[in-house]
Amino acid sequence: MQEKHNTDTIRRPQGNRMIDGLRVNINLPLLIDQIKNEKAWEFSDRNAITVFKTDGMRIVLVALHKGAHIMEHRIDDIISLQVLDGQMQFNSIKQSAELNKGQMITLHEGIPYSLLAMEETVFLLTLTSWPEGENIRYK
């Protein structure tokens, strides 16, 4: 397997990091500090960074200011949201839930959802997709 790295950009000068490989170490406290010290955090209601990306799976670290609203949308991936800090309201046609630090929720593909940060919130968003017709089997 060939390692994949993000590269530095003007908006993210500390962007050079491994995002795929046989083993990827992810320092969440360091990345949380990084996204909260970038201009996007200062001038927007949110900031995010992809911490792992490979065929079939992506993990994104997201920080939301209090009151930030992610409008309803739907994606073609199974998702999980794990709250690392803060509190959010998760809404979908299937359920609504208040998620606090340490809580997690999953949602199958194609179901619309929205989020509202009740306070400054940091969470991990994991998205998984599989090629059409493939099933995951556990032994």
Question: How many domains would you assign to the chain?
Answer: 1
> For position 56, which CATH number holds?
2.60.120.10
Q: Where are the alpha helices (DSSP H) in 37-129?
A: 39-43
Instruction: Name the residue with tokens 């065929």.
Output: 55
Domain of residue 43: give its range: 4-128
Task: Give the DSSP letter of residue 67.
Answer: T
Write down the pLDDT at residue 134.
55
Residue 29 lies in a domain: yes
Residue 115 lies in a domain: yes
Distance of CA 126 to the CA centre of its chain: 6
Instruction: Name the residue with tokens 């809404």.
Output: 91
Residue 13 lies in a domain: yes
Residue 65 lies in a domain: yes
Q: What is the pLDDT of residues 28-71, one digit of tens each?
A: 999 999 999 999 999 999 999 999 998 889 999 999 999 999 99
Angle at 23 between CA 32 and CA 81, to 5 degrees: 45
